Amino acid sequence: MNKLTLLFTGILLTFGSAWVGLVAYPVANLANMEPLPNEETGGLIPPTLSGLAVAGQKVYAANGCVECHSQQVRPDPLTTDIAKQLGKRQTVPRDEIREHTPFLGEYRIGQDLSNYGARETDVAAVHRHLYSPQLVSPWSNMPSYSYLYQYRKIVGQPSSHALQGLTGSFAPKAGYEVVPTQQAEALVAYLLSLNQNYPLPESPEPTAK
C-alpha cells in the first residue's frame, strides 16, 4: 500500500458501501411513508398527533426521557416483549412517521412506553406520576419532574387544573396548590398519545400459539 490514492479509494469504497446501504437506502425508500386510511373510523393510521402532543415531544426530548424509557416493541419469538404486554405487535417504521425523532431508546431503566397511552388514560394520574413518582410507586427510581409544575399560593378560587390526590410528604401545604405548566400539559398529552393499537398490514399481531 504505497499510494495515498489507493488507500483513499479503498476507504471510499468500504465506508461508502455502508453509507449507501444504511443511509442512502433508507432516505430513498423509507423517508416518504404515508399514513394509511383507517376504514373503521375514517381516520388515519397512525393517528395524527394533536398540537399539544407535538409540543410534548419537545419536552420529552428536552428532559432526556429516552435515556431510561425505550419505545420499541420487538417481535416474537426473538423476544418476550409481546408476551410481557409492552404491545400487541412489533413496532415498524410506519409507526414512527408521527414522530420528529424516533425515541427508540437504548435502556429500560424505566418501563417501555410504546403503548403507554393504551395502559393509562387518566390525565390526573399521569400528572401525579410525573410530579411525585414515589407516591405512585414507592420503589420507583424515576426523578421527579416537579420543575414542570408551579407550586403556588391559592388566590381566590383554587385552580381547576391543580393536581389532586397528592398525599403524605408530597401534599402541598394548606392554602397552596400544584398546577401543571404548559410544558407538563404538553408532555402528558404526548405520553397519552403513545398507543400503537391500530392494525398495520406490515406488522400483523402474532396469532395465539
Partner 1 sequence: MSNDQSSQPDTLSSAERSAIDSSVAFPVILFFGTSILWLLLGSIFELTSSIKLVWPFFLDGLSFFTYGRTSIVSVNALAYGWATPAAIGIGLWLTTRLCRVPLAHHKLLIASGIIWNLGVFVGVSGLLIGDSTSIPLLNFPAYSTHILLLSFALIAIWAVMTFLQRQSGTLFVSQWFLVAGFFSFPWLFATASQLLVWNPVQASAQPSIAAWYAGGFFNLWLVPMGLAAAFYLIPKSIGRPVNSHHLSLLAFWSILLFGAWSGTSRLIGGPLPAWMVSVGVAAGVMMIIPTLAVALNLHFTLEGHYAPVAWSPSLRFIVTGVSFLLTTWILSAINSIPSVNSVTNFSDFTRGLNLLGYYGFFSMIAFGSIYYILPRLTGKEWPSSCLISWHFWLALSGILLGASALILGGLIQGFALQDVGITFRSSMDFIAPFRFCAALAAILIVAANLGFALLFAGLLWSTRRSGATPTLIAVREENSQEPVAV
User: Exactly one of 45, 53, 55, 72 binds partner 1 (CB under 8 A); which one?
Assistant: 72
Answer yes or no whether residue 50 interacts with partner 1 by CB under 8 A.
Answer: no
SS3 154: coil
Shortest CB 200 distance to partner 1, Å = 11
CB-wise, 78 or 174, nearer to partner 1? 78
* Interacting positions 81-120 with partner 1 (CB under 8 A): 81, 83-84, 90-109, 111
23 binds partner 1 per the rule CB under 8 A: yes
Q: Residue 85 in contact with residue 114, Cβ under 8 Å?
A: no
Q: What's the first-to-final CA gap in the chain, in angstroms?
A: 57
Residue 157 Cβ vs partner 1, minimum distance, rounded to whole Å: 27
Q: Give, in order, the Cα–Cα distances in Å from 140 to each of 79, 136, 155, 165.
A: 25, 8, 34, 18
Q: How far is the CB of 100 from partner 1 (least distance, A)?
A: 6
Q: Which residue in 57, 50, 195 sits closest to 119, CA to CA?
A: 195
Q: In the complex, what is the shortest distance from the CB of residue 55 to partner 1, in angstroms, rounded to a whole number?
A: 13
Count of residues touching partner 1 (by CB under 8 A): 74
Q: What is each CA distance from 106 to 26, 66, 86, in whole angstroms? A: 21, 8, 16
Interactions with partner 1, residue window 128-167 (CB under 8 A): 133-134, 137, 139-147
